Amino acid sequence: MSDHIVWIVLFPLLGGVACSLFGNFSKKICYPLAVGSMIASVWSSVHTLFQVIESPLHQVSYIQGGWTLDLFPRGVGIEFRADLLGALITLVVTGVGLIVVLYSKVPVQRQTPGKEPLYYTLFLLQITGLAGITLTGDAFNLYVLIEVAALTGYGLIALGSNRAAAATFNYIILGTIGASLYLLGVGYLYLKTGTLNMVGILEVIEANNLHDSPAMQVAFVLVLLGVLIKMAFFPFHAWLPKAYCHAPTTTSCLLAPLVTKVMIYVMIRMILSVFGVEFSFESTWWAEVMPWLVVVAIICAAVMALAQREIKSMLTYLIVAEVGYMVGGVWIYNYYGLVGSIFHVISDACMTLCLFLGAGIILEKCRTTHFDGLRGLFAKMPLTMIGFFIGGFSIIGLPPTCGFFSKWYLITGGMVSERWEYMVTLMFSTMVMVILFFRLIERIHLAVDESGKNLGKGHGDLGLTDEQTRFDEAPLSMLIPLLIAASIVIIVGVYNQEVVNLIELFLEDHNLPTGVTYK
């Protein structure tokens, strides 16, 4: 079993097939099957990460079916390639998948009764698609895996309420436009370079100096546009909030941390490994325009998050704002910005997971996530709220958590490249997030309602009966994953230097400027 890289994808795939086959006989078998295949997948991705670190070129490659010919040394088949970036993100994807699948026991039984086999099949196929996206080295295969992840995602969301089905329709339309634009862009790439292998494309571009070719420009615009729609970058974000807000608890816990982050990974991959740094930043005008779009995106998303009165819908807008952070980190065209962006992909996946797990527990216990229903939750579920707010503090960027360090690099990037507008926007959005989360804390601790009317008798009285504030913690199968996620947020924060070292090792051979790039 030296080819761990393939098993990362194969375990969830086979697990999904097994779930749909054996689920008909016994519904109880699905949960252990899903947990087992996810554990195996995480194990494989840890092995792959160590293989990548140990190998001299820092990459592991596997050509599907062994389709190599002398004429095509890169292989005519599909190649799976993990470099440090790919291996790191894959570990994040499978790790989040494992935590969510552990968490899923109670909510799946309650929200989709009788459909557990189908749910877990879709769930595992979703992981297959996402892990495949992070591992594949073939541009067309990437399209297929994007669609695998998207189709299962539509299914997972539509399993929720009727409202979720209506939101899914928007998602299908926009998601299909995004993926189709990407496919079209890949078509132009193939026409121009004659290969679909990512490294092969880059080699042809560099060798033939295609930087000024109009066809390449078209390909770049189409691919980037498709990916931006898929990652819910601000003007294209319309599908995300409703879909994630009304999806079943487990679905939003899985999709919210992963889908947008994986698409940002695709953007970084396209820029660094397919089009090349030189082409992406210097032959196009994107690097001049994108930071300003990011400014608009972050401000709009933060303000809209401020307008929400429900935890889940507030969190969905936070995702849109975070997407703005990461896109900005890439497009300020700076070494530190890119380090921050990649690190933020990892840390944002952890903290969004933490927040959505917490929100899922609140929804499970209180049957609502509206701000008015939160009073006295710290007395009722102290551990859940601690976990939830560790995620929240990480979003704000308080020091021991990982959010602080990724934001640190992003802001450093903004300063070094003298993109002041990006830096100021980050500060502004940090302030908004402080308001968002401390307002929540106020709502939970103080007996004040929306209009400022005092509901209690003062002096810490919440206006609640003893019955309502009695200790009533969530079931352990939900609580433990949340606490694991919260501790990961802190551990990644404390050991941030280890992660950043890996990212810096990956960025070593990409010629990125460390100074001012803005003219």
Partner 1 sequence: MTEDGSIFFQLLVERLNYFIYIVLLMIGLWAMIAKNNLIKKLIGMSIFQTAIILFYVSTAVKEDATIPIYLPEHDPHGTELNSESNQSGGMIHAPQVLEASLVSGYTNPLPHVLMLTAIVVGVATLGLALSVCLRIYRAYGTIEEDDLLLELEKEDGRKAGGFRKKRPRRMPSRGGKSKDKVRKGTDEKSKSGQVQTRRRKSGPSKPTSTKSNSNSDTQGGEKKPKSRRRKPSPRKPREDKS
Residues near partner 1, by CB under 8 A: 69-71, 140, 143-144, 147, 151, 154-155, 158, 162-163, 165-166, 168-170, 172-173, 176-177, 180, 183-184, 187, 190-191, 196, 238, 241-242, 245, 304, 307-310, 313, 316-317, 368, 370-372, 449-450
Instruction: Give whichever of 102 and 164 is closer to partner 1, judged by the CB atom.
Output: 164
DSSP label of 112: S
| Beta carbon of residue 381, minimum distance to partner 1 (angstroms, whole number) | 21
> Residue 433 contacts by C-beta under 8 Å, 6 or more apart in sequence?
302, 318, 321, 395, 396, 397
Q: Smallest distance, Å, CB 434 to partner 1? A: 22
C-beta of residue 226 within 8 angstroms of C-beta of residue 180: yes
Angle ∠(429,85,211) on CA atoms, nearest 5? 90
| Residue 89 in tokens | 């993100």
CB of 263 to partner 1, least distance (A): 17
Q: Closer CB to partner 1, residue 186 or residue 474?
A: 186
CB 14 within 8 A of CB 111: no
The string of DSSP letters for 49-83 reads HHHHHHSTTSEEEEEGGG---SS-TT-SS-EEEEE
Least distance (Å) between residue 470 CB and partner 1: 23
Nearer to partner 1, 44 or 252 (CB): 252
Q: Which two tokens stand for residue 310?
A: 């429900």
d(CA 193, CA 191): 6
CB 189 within 8 A of CB 139: yes
Complex with partner 1: residue 187 or 475, whichever CB lies closer: 187
Cβ 310 to partner 1 shortest distance, Å: 6
Least distance CB 258 / partner 1 (angstroms): 20
Comparing CA positions, the residue from 281, 334, 274 lying closest to residue 512 is 334
Q: Which of 265, 247, 266 is nearest to 123 (CA)?
A: 247
Non-local (6+) Cβ contacts of 438 within 8 A are: none
Minimum CB distance to partner 1, residue 300 (Å): 9
Which of 191/424 has CB closer to partner 1? 191
CB of 44 to partner 1, least distance (A): 26
Q: Which is closer to partner 1, CB of 180 or CB of 477?
A: 180
Which CB sits closer to partner 1, 36 or 77? 77
Q: What is residue 7's three-state secondary structure?
A: helix
Nearer residue to partner 1 within complex by CB, 7 or 182: 182
68 versus 468: smaller Cβ distance to partner 1:
68
CB of 451 to partner 1, least distance (A): 9
CA distances from 459 to 36, 379, 446, 468 (A): 50, 16, 9, 18
Rg of the chain over all Cα atoms, to the nearest angstrom = 23
